[in-house]
Structure formats: C-alpha cells, structure tokens
Structure 1
Amino acid sequence: MSLTGTPFLLTSVVLLIVAVVVPLALWGRIAGPALVRGLARLLMLLFAQVTAITLVFVLVNNSNNLYDTWGDLLGTDSHVAVAKDLGPDGMGGKQIKNEPKQLQQFRPGDDPRMGAGVQMTDLEGRISGVRGEVYVWLPPQYNDPAYKNTRFPVVELLPGYPGSSKAWFGSLHVAEQLRPLMQRGQIKPFILVAPRTNLLTGADTGCVNIPGKVNADSWLTVDVRKMVIDNFRVGDRPDSWALAGYSAGAHCATKLALSHPDRYRAAVALSGYNDPALEPDSLAGKDPQLRISSNPIHILKSANAAGRPPRTALYVSGAAGDGYQAGIGLRQLAKPPTTVTVQQISANAGGHTTAVWREQVPQVFRWLGTQLKP
C-alpha cells in the first residue's frame, strides 16, 4: 500500500475510529485478574496513540509529499546501481551526442492527487548509475495539431529534503495552476519534468557527484535531460532548459544551473540557501571540499575570476533569513551575462512551507517565460 495513496489515508482513519470506539465499548467489560485488565487497557491506549500519530503523519506527508514510498521512509530502497568517477564534466569521458537514444515506456502517474495529464517512467541512468522514477507533464498545446512541429522548453522540478518527486504536482499543484494560464496564453507552454532526488537512505545528496557513493548531478543534468530530449519534442540547447526548486531543491537548482550553463539557461530558487551545510543531512555539506565547490557563491566567483561569467538567469525568492540573503549575495556577484532577480517574501507569508511556494508558481513561470525559448 502506497504511503501517499488514498487507501492508506482511509485505512488510517478507520483504524483511529476503531481505536477510539473499542475502549469506549469494552473498558468496563474486560474480565479477569487486575493485571490482565490493566494490560488490556494499556494496549488499547497505546493502539489509540499509535493510530493517532499515524494519521497525523499521513496528513502531513500527503500535504508536503515528504516520503513517496515505504522504502523511502524505512530506507530500504536503493536507487544507486553504481557510482563511477565521472570526472569534472560528469560524463565519464563520454559524449552525450554519441550515446544511443533511450526511449522509454510511460504510464499514468501513480497518484491521482497530482492531477490529470501527469505520466511517469522508470529510468535507468546510463551515465550516472542512478535509477528512479521520472514524472512528466505536457502542456495543453503539446498534442494540438497547430503545434505538431513545435519544440517546447523544459523545466526540471526539484523538491526539498526529504521530498518526493511528486511534490510539485501534488503539494504545489503546479500543473493544476498552469494549465488554464497556458490555455489562455497568459503563460508560455512548458514541459514539466520531476525526477527522483531522494536517492540515498537518510542523506541529502546536495545534487553532487561523489565517486563510490552517488552521481546525483549527472542523474539530473545528463540522464534525465537526455531521456526527455529522446522522448519528447523539446529543444536541446541551454536556452530551452531551466530548473526550479524549493528549500534543498532551490540550492540544487541554483548550483546546477551555474555549474552547467551549457545545459541550462535559468533557475528558480524558492527559500533556498547557498551553503550546503545548512542542510544537516547534506553529503556535500559534510565534505569540506564539496561544501566549498558546490556553493553557488564559490561557483560564481570562480567563473568570474576565470573571465567566464555564466550566461545564467536566476530568480531567487525568500524571506529574511530564509533565502533572501542568499539571493542578495548572488546578485552582488553577478556580472553580465549572469543576471539575478531577487524577490523578498514577507516574514508573515507563512514560513518555510509548501503553501508559500505554491502561491509563487504563476509568478515564477511568467518569469521563466521571459528567459526560455524552444
């Protein structure tokens, strides 16, 4: 039974009702010695406590899409088959143009709360050695005969940590919000791609490559990107690609876009951070060298010092102490053609929550429409 499915929610509700009704009906009817009666009543109370906690967990998890499967929660699933040393470009000496096409079979998304039109596939990353699900949503124009020769820009959607690849669709309602706006021509049509980012038990990868551990960077920026290009009508140039993330996903979006201006034109970061050590479970934050090299501030400084500021557009939003200062730091360093737009969110907007990020969806996609082209 899925952690995020309706059946598990209904089961939790029924069990809680049973846990309340049973003590009311049987409390005074339990027979036997005092010790037996006391033990039975204690078990009924414990059962009621467990079912109540379980229901609260299910409601919170469904609202925020923190854990997708039982394997994610219990740490029993493995999503890394191999983690070779792929070198600084994350390609392991290969050229993506020489790699054969990776055509995939897609099926409807496995959670109705993501809304209509979301499809999914199980991808085996040939370069990264990562395997995981990838969700794809096509804009209303994609199957319109008038657009049969049109290539569409793509936005990769990254959740926080812990976080499910369903989160942008299920918690932020990105497709539900954008569909009518795209139909009315108020927002340009994008293909939305949500790959798995929760790859290791009890650890945030920081979206980096760590030989022998995980190649999260190459999974997101090479394997997922190539799969989408191979299976859909999308542009393959950087101007057709962007990343968007919140919290830990915001850090990843900024870091990956600045690291790979040959693959992405823009990134959106909602309530993120620059220093990966601000996420206690970040593998990048725990490694002294990776903590520096994966910090967007360091990436931008190094590119500027080399005389090659990236052609990258960043949109950074956050409240004071929750992403805003990270954006200001990047904006102060930006040199053309790098641009950084910073939007301060009110401290009273709702905190570090999906409700705050959900409200920003139309605005950030309007901005993306000014940055990307097919």
Structure 2
Amino acid sequence: MSIVDGPLFILSYVATGLLLLALLAPRPGVRWPVRRFLPVAVGSALVGAAAGTLLTWLLSDVWDVFGVSLTWVVRIADAVAFAGFAIVLANLISTRLWRAITALVAAALTAWCLFLTINVDFGQYPTVGDALGTTYQDPITPPGVSEGLTALDEWTPPADLPAQGIAGLVEIPAVAAQFEPREAAIYLPPAALTDDPPALPVVIALSGQPGTPTDVFSAGGVAEMMDGIAARNDGLAPIVVVPDQLGDPSNNPMCVDGPFGDSATYLTVDVVDWIRDNLPASADRDAWTIAGFSQGGTCAIQLGAGHPDLFGSIVDVSGEIAPSLGSMQTTIERGFGGDIDAYEAATPIELLRAGAPFTDTVAYFFAGEHDAKYSAFMRAVSAQADDAGMTVTAETSPGTAHDWNTARYGFRTAFDALCERWGITR
C-alpha cells in the first residue's frame, strides 16, 4: 500500500485536519469561558509553529545534525505539525475525558502526517512494507555459472522467459577482507533466470549511510527500473548487486581499508570474486558499473577511479567531495590514524588525478536542484573527472534535494543511457 499517494495518504491528512479543527471549537462545561478558549488555542498554535520553526533551524542550519540543509517542505511541515501539537496541549488542560482522548488521537495523526510529508520529500519509503522493512527480504539462491556463457548479441530468449526479474537477499562473505558485512541485496533480470543465461552486465550499487542494501531497491526503485529495461530488451538487463559497504548503519568505513574494517577490499575483491563465481556475469569491464547514492556515491567515484580495471562506468549521485566522519580533523584522526596524506589520497579528486588519463571510463554525476552543498561537490568532482579523461555527464535533478528522489532520477537517467554501452539494446 502506497504511503506517498493514494487513499491512505489522502485520508490521513483529511482525518488529521478535521480533528484539529474540532479541537479549535469552544469547550462547554470547563473552567475556561467559551469566549476565551479560541484565542488561547490559536495563540498556542502560533507559539507551537514558532517553536517548530526554531527547532528546525537549529537542527539544520546551526548544529547541522543531518549534514544537509532541510528543504522548505520539511520546514513548513514542522511548523504546521508543532502548531497542531500545541492545539492538542491546549485541549488537555481542564478538559473532559472524551476531548482529551480526541486530542491524543489528533496528536498521533499529526505525527503520522509529519512523517508522511517528510517521507514524500525525502523519498525513502514508497509503501507501508518498505517502511516496515518487509520488502525485498526473501533469500535468493544464486543461479551459478555455467561454462561458456553465450554472448549477448548471440543470445535468443526462450519461450518460457519470465516476465520480470527477482530481487532479494544473499550472503556475500568477507574472505580477503577483515570486515563483517550484512546480507547483500541482488536483482536478477529475466534473462538470468533461464536455463541458458547470457553473459550479463553487472551493476554494483551502494546505498547511503545510514542505510541498508535493500534501500537501493525499496527507496531507489532500481529493481523496477531494471524490469523496465528488460521489458524493452527481450529480458536483458544488468544483474544488480548491492553489497553492504558499512557493516552497521552507524558506521562509515568510507570505502577504504582502515580502523572500521577493510571495506575497500571487501567491495573490490570479495564481492567481485563472489559475483564471478556465482552469477552469469560478463568478463568485460565495459559491462561493469559502480553506482551509489550519497555516501555510496562517494564510494562509487572512489572505487571507480581507483579501480578502472574493474569498472568501465561510474554513477555518482549526491556524493561527497571527500570521505567524511564529520569535520576533516575528525575524519583524519579517526579514519586514517592521523595520516593526512592517506586521507588526501582517498579523496575522489586525488584518485582522479593519480589515475589519469582514463581513456575508456564513462562517469555520470547527479545532485538535487535544491541541494546547494552537494551540487557544488558534483561540479568540482565531475570537472576533475573530465580533466582526467573520463567521458562525463553531470546533471541536476529537477525540483529535488539530497534525497532518494534525486537518486531515482540519477539512476534512471544513467542506466537508460548505459544500455548501449552494456550491449543490451535490442
């Protein structure tokens, strides 16, 4: 059931609005005179709205709790919600039981509508199942690899070709790396589910931090995107593997080998080896893409620039200009043992300089139109990628900020454009 549109979404706002309007009505039979209650309730709402506005400003612009500036949609929603909470409080003073119960129900619905509004703005949970974490949780058995995979241009779809691919969870163990990953999420296109699959392109995609691998499918919509590509191309689409580059949602190993684990080795050795051993993957580096959103976008350009032998294409959506644990000093001390040279060598710009010239790498960069901070990062890193010889596309996502709406725009745009390079256009 959708929580970004549809009946549940609309009814939630209607019910909340009606309850709050009811709570503004005069209250007979209480110590406050009827004529005084409405001014008190309205005044409380104005104080609540001011408090919500102040709190949002402090969290976003003064303390920078989220690392990005909150949008005006969130700021207005916070002000309206806090106004609703203040109306509820005014109705809990010297009131009858039925009105107190109504006020508490209104408070719960106001909180729910605030969540819905922020969720639409950020694009995190399209459905109830996504919010509850119950989607894309089925285990998948890898199909294995047969000898002599058929080339894409020689493959003929069988009569029993599935209409859609499948997505779920697999274990990708750390072998070479000192790292403890969570389960990975994978998508297998219809062609991979046949008895004689071809050698398919591969996308290694990475979520942000905090996050889980399934975010790329639930919030990023990548499985549906790939099903759309497959529907247009006789069941052909990339295999998508979303490994866990974090180990824990609260950790940020920054896709390097360091105090938080050998994230880089895990992604570029263990994950790559597992894909080659368990999935019908192409051996051509032009068919391999590294992609990611936010912290995952930073990792994508780090790993793509650092391992051009593995990845022919890079998709960096809202990535940072450098790996970060907060301030630069904190990052260097905690993540690199105080070694500033090691820190600088791990930044995308230095990796691009060190690896230049990149003679056959395609790179896509995206940031939200309303995300000034990460748009500036995108311009700086994409310019360096262009200087380093990559074929670069840099775009802003219309009307979005640092959110999964931007990620969906970037992934869809890049993947559609890469179909020809992957060799799956029919």
Please report the TM-score for the alignment, with normalisation by the length of structure 1.
0.65
Identity %: 22
Deviations 1:80-126 (A, max 9, x none): xxxxxxxxxxxxxxxxxxxxxxxxx7269xxxxxx972121233312
1:135-174 correspondence to structure 2 within 5 Å: 135-144=185-194, 148-174=196-222
Structure with greater helix percent: 2
Counterpart of 1:363, as a letter, is T
Counterpart of 1:313, as a letter, is V
Deviations 1:288-317 (A, max 9, x none): 63431211111122234xxx7575332223
Aligned match of 1:321: 376
1:37-56 correspondence to structure 2 within 5 Å: 49=107, 52-53=110-111, 56=114
Aligned match of 1:129: 179
Aligned match of 1:312: 361
Contact 1:121 1:133 in 2 (8 A): yes
Contact 1:65 1:163 in 2 (8 A): no
Deviation of residue 233 (structure 1)?
0.9
Counterpart of 2:386, as a letter, is R
Residues 106 and 161 (structure 1), Cα distance of their counterparts in 2 relative to 1, 3 Å cut: same
Contact 1:156 1:195 in 2 (8 A): yes
1:46-195 correspondence to structure 2 within 5 Å: 49=107, 52-53=110-111, 56-57=114-115, 60=118, 64-65=123-124, 106=140, 117-126=166-175, 127-144=177-194, 148-185=196-233, 189-195=237-243
| Distance (Å, rounded) in 2 between the aligned partners of 1:371 and 1:124 | 30
Aligned match of 2:348: 296
Paired residue secondary structure (1:276): coil
Q: Which runs of 5+ in 2 are unaligned?
A: 28-92, 134-138, 143-163, 370-374
| Distance (Å, rounded) in 1 between the aligned partners of 2:329 and 2:276 | 30
| Distance (Å, rounded) in 1 between the aligned partners of 2:247 and 2:114 | 25
Contact 1:168 1:174 in 2 (8 A): yes
Aligned match of 1:209: 257
Counterpart of 1:276, as a letter, is P
Deviation of residue 361 (structure 1)?
3.2
Aligned match of 2:266: 219
| Distance (Å, rounded) in 2 between the aligned partners of 1:250 and 1:134 | 17
| Distance (Å, rounded) in 2 between the aligned partners of 1:52 and 1:60 | 12
Aligned match of 2:391: 340
Residues 49 and 298 (structure 1), Cα distance of their counterparts in 2 relative to 1, 3 Å cut: same
Report how many residues are paired: 317
Contact 2:165 2:189 in 1 (8 A): no
Deviations 1:128-151 (A, max 9, x none): 432211111111222345xx1511
| Distance (Å, rounded) in 2 between the aligned partners of 1:302 and 1:322 | 19
Q: Which runs of 5+ in 1 are unaligned?
A: 29-35, 72-104, 109-114
Aligned match of 1:350: 400
| Distance (Å, rounded) in 2 between the aligned partners of 1:143 and 1:292 | 43
| Distance (Å, rounded) in 2 between the aligned partners of 1:232 and 1:356 | 30
**RMSD of aligned Cα (Å):** 4.7
Deviation of residue 197 (structure 1)?
3.3
Residues 314 and 57 (structure 1), Cα distance of their counterparts in 2 relative to 1, 3 Å cut: same
Deviation of residue 171 (structure 1)?
1.7
Please report the TM-score for the alignment, with normalisation by the length of structure 2.
0.58
Residues 321 and 181 (structure 1), Cα distance of their counterparts in 2 relative to 1, 3 Å cut: same
Deviation of residue 265 (structure 1)?
1.9
Correspondent of 1:267 among 314, 318, 338: 314
Counterpart of 1:258, as a letter, is A
Contact 1:317 1:324 in 2 (8 A): no
Contact 1:273 1:322 in 2 (8 A): yes
Counterpart of 1:315, as a letter, is Y
Aligned match of 2:30: none
| Distance (Å, rounded) in 2 between the aligned partners of 1:245 and 1:116 | 21
Higher relative contact order, structure no. (Cα contacts within 8 Å, ≥ 6 residues apart): 1
| Distance (Å, rounded) in 1 between the aligned partners of 2:123 and 2:327 | 20
| Distance (Å, rounded) in 2 between the aligned partners of 1:350 and 1:313 | 24
Counterpart of 1:312, as a letter, is T
Residues 149 and 168 (structure 1), Cα distance of their counterparts in 2 relative to 1, 3 Å cut: closer
Further displaced range: 216-225 or 51-60 = 51-60
| Distance (Å, rounded) in 2 between the aligned partners of 1:361 and 1:136 | 16
Counterpart of 1:274, as a letter, is I
Contact 1:65 1:166 in 2 (8 A): no
